[in-house]
Amino acid sequence: MKQLNIANTEMKASQIVLGCMRMNEPGRNAAKIIQTAYDHEINFFDHADIYGGGECETIFAKGLKETSISRSDIYLQSKVGIRPGVAFDFSKQHIIEAVEGSLKRLDTDYLDALLLHRPDTLVEPEEVAEAFSMLEKAGKVRAFGVSNQNPGQIELLKTAVKQPLHINQLQFGLKHTGMIDTGINVNMDNQAGLVRDSGILEYSRIQNMTIQAWSPFQYGFFEGPFVGNTEKFPELNAKLAELADQYKSTPSGIAIAFINRHPANMQTIIGTMTTSRIIEVTDAADIVLTRDEWYALYQAAGNLLP
């Protein structure tokens, strides 16, 4: 699998990331999931303090101890800033307390990356800066980033935060292509041409920020997977099946290849806790779609070219 240099860091991370949001679901064997992912060249694991109310981090730590993997062999990332029952909280106190909680649950001394989880409109950049500096100085966080934030919000943080912001997690996949649509439909009087994110794709490339694509198989806002949904998306699934047959892969593998083909060098976060699906997706990670195939998929997903 292709290894990416996370922007301006020493991290050489797998292009596929295992998202651990569902690790607390009944019947999951965390050790087997983690070992399978690692054996298939995934070395980057994504968490958040709210996943399972923190339980997912605890389960992961216990599972990791049952594998042959050392902590130094992998990268652990977590996100903070969502407070159930409150909303969003980027205060210095909350960031530090949340990180301490994640470190304890993950049974580790440090996070390789910490992301601010969804924007807090009440953010005071100076508080974020103080929290980041304290965590970095203590050796508890090595790299920083954001999740679901636009260029203006990132620039606002930069007015005070001294550390580079290396990562931005954004929803992206064949049925969530907004940040690409706006660039293709520049100056067009149509729905696709509406700029909703201030050009976050181009901004990320200019700033050398690594985009992490989440929910790559979902359509809408957690409405369900589009892969295999031939009733709603017959043309897209037909094209996925055609390319899967051509590349000796699977429709899910081709959906990942669509993301990987983009020159922004994104990481793709998969949330599956099924080992066979992990193998299926990672085996397809090295597929490089042609330009014609990429645009054919884009159009099969319901997007019109100007």
| Average pLDDT value for residue range 186-202 | 90
**Cα–Cα dist 48/56, whole Å:** 8
Q: Give the confidence band of 279 by pLDDT, cuts at 50, 70, 90.
A: very high
What rounded mean pLDDT belongs to the chain?
96
Tokens of 64: 């990791």
Res 237: pLDDT:
98
Res 84: pLDDT:
85
Is it the case that residue 188 has pLDDT exceeding 90?
no
Residues in Cβ contact with 10 at an 8 Å cutoff, skipping those fewer than 6 apart: none
Tokens of 171: 């929803």
- HSE of 269 in the Cβ direction (CA atoms, 13 Å)? 24
Tokens of 286: 């090295």
| Average pLDDT value for residue range 183-196 | 89
Exposure string (b/e) for 265-287, b if CB count within 10 Å is 16 or more? bbbbbbbbbebebbebbbbbbeb
Is it the case that residue 187 has pLDDT exceeding 90?
no
CA-CA distances (angstroms) from residue 64 to 76, 93, 107, 293? 11, 29, 10, 39
Out of 51-55, 90-94, 135-139, 184-188, least confident range: 184-188
Is it the case that residue 220 has pLDDT exceeding 90?
no
Helices in the chain by DSSP H: which ranges? 30-39, 55-65, 92-106, 125-137, 151-158, 178-184, 200-207, 234-246, 251-260, 275-283, 291-300
**Tens digit of each residue's pLDDT (9 = 90 or more) over 40-86:** 999 999 999 999 999 999 999 999 999 999 999 999 999 999 998 88
Q: Give the confidence band of 18 by pLDDT, cuts at 50, 70, 90.
A: very high
Is it the case that residue 98 has pLDDT exceeding 80?
yes
**Tens digit of each residue's pLDDT (9 = 90 or more) over 231-251:** 999 999 999 999 999 999 999
* pTM of the entire predicted model: 0.96
Q: Give the confidence band of 117 by pLDDT, cuts at 50, 70, 90.
A: very high
CA-CA distances (angstroms) from residue 274 to 34, 129, 279? 11, 39, 9
DSSP 171-233: E-BTTB-HHHHHHHTTT-SSGGG--SSSSHHHHHHHHTPEEEEE-TTEETTTTEE-TT-TTT-
Is it the case that residue 139 has pLDDT exceeding 90?
yes
**Cα–Cα dist 216/206, whole Å:** 23
Residue 158's nearest CA partner among 128, 118, 188, 189 is: 128
> For residue 117, what is the enclosing H or E element?
strand 113-117
